[in-house]
Structure 1
Amino acid sequence: MPRDTFGADYPFLASSERLSFSQMLKLASAFALLGVEKIRITGGEPLLRRGLESLIEQLAKLPTLTGKAMELALTTNGSLLGAKARSLRDAGLGRVTVSLDAVDYAVFRQMSDVDIPVSRILQGIETARAVGLDPIKVNTVVERGVNDGQILPLVRLFKGTGVAVRFIEYMDVGGAVEWSNAKVLTAREIRHIVESEFPLIPVAAAAQKGTAINYRHADGEGDVGFIASVSKPFCGSCSRARVSADGRFYSCLFATTGMDLTRWLADAAPVEQLAMAIRGQWIQRDDRYSELRSAQRRKGVGRVYPTVRMSLVGG
């Protein structure tokens, strides 16, 4: 969220326009009726929301169709994690992902445009590990010529700690206004940089989960993942749905518009109707931006169309 875009006069979403915790719980209940067993709380920065622990406590009690406990995860920039980790764990949070693009402060400052000390984020990660928020993942977006020199330092730092580092190709999401193909360091290139110092062994295909292709250090000292969202898009296997803070449903990270769900979030509206609305939108989706972009990329064309900001729909 760069300062030159989100300055002091930027018209941020008013608190009255944001979903209440009761509305979020109703949304989660509707998704649970549709078979969802994993919920990720993201942002923006979710730890800025007061009383977040109470929401997590309620979400943790949601029944799933299979009878399993609802899996709860959270993505954060880590700045408040040290202070919140224990209360989050006690409320029912299962695991956490921390966004960290560099360990060098100058590079980190360039990538994030914030003055948060890297040491505070690292302390937050350590505290989360200590209280049992495990496994912990660190997500690093790699931009060629900016933080590609931080790949090996990050692997060195977390190797043997139980924290898995995942490197993500620089994507043209809505906020990346200066994105270009030339700034993309592919997952294959990133892996070769890691393997220049650390031998890796691919994790068996049957054990692969989520969007990352995971490798294990040859000496058994942890995992490293690579998300090839630009060079090898995976639209066809994507099963992620997103709901923004103002109640819009997005079936793709690269969507341009979202379906307004607020009409079904009124107290009188049955949760089953909300679930039907979500299902109807989901089954007719035809999102394949990354595949279209990949085809255009081979022709030397940049972004296919303007997309929604990641700060609105999360990662």
Structure 2
Amino acid sequence: MKIILANPRGFCAGVNMAVESLETALRVFGSPLYVYHEIVHNRPIVDRFRAKGVVFVDGISEVPNGGTVLYSAHGVSPEIRRQSVERNLRAIDATCPLVTKVHIEAVKYAKEGYTIILIGHDGHDEVIGTMGEAPANMVLVESEADVEALNFPADVKLAYLTQTTLSVDETKGIIAALKRKFPQLTGPSKDDICYATQNRQEAVRDLVPEADVVIVLGSQNSSNSNRLAEIAKQKGRAAYLIDSVAELRDEWFRPTDTVLVTAGASAPEDHVQACVDHLREKFNAAVEPRTIREEHVNFPLPKELRVLTRK
């Protein structure tokens, strides 16, 4: 067996920042510490922090008055921020800066009188937060079929934005459909799909022709991890999205297979290595790391924590 270990894979700068923010907040404030939604969409990370006394909530009212709450990497709406102030919460904003960029664009377009078409997945934490910036000005589409169902007057000002963790190829198709139907459409000067999402998709797309089986480390509720498995399946390969080596099944493999191993942007590297170690032990697999693109992006801790850690 041969393992192709894709690079880049795993943690992106936004996830690194969010996880480090929560670790730092735990050291500074202790537990119980509250996080609005999952810090990142990865079950092992959430379970690890829960064991340390972190409480993940889906409603800001679940945080006791005067408590400490950390906003997840996916961002929150202005209404959540307002409620936090109302409840006298110490709020730490671990929103990924690339998500914040989309929020800023939404506010700008709304102020300029645009109707905003947001391309994203209904119910995703990031989409909920973004739509909360301008709910009266925004409509969500998930597919080209949704685009066909839209009906706007020819003179309406239209702009589009995208969730940061979508499939690059699928999103291009939706944007093209929007532009065909609404020639007046405008959009951001740079793609909203984050660099890490694009790079991990590019690595799978480039390397999957050499593979028989693809293993993606990531959780079922991770949008960007699901996209990696989808790309592999679209290329006709067997692809499995798993959280850890405990879910790996030996019957998925033949002893002579070439196995592509990658990880979504919120999946920890120790789980990748555990899967590689299992395949080495079980199938005497040789590992070949393959780098498609270098990444050198870092995001600082939220200002609320930078101030405290400098003291």
TM-score by length of 1: 0.27
Larger radius of gyration: 2
TM-score by length of 2: 0.27
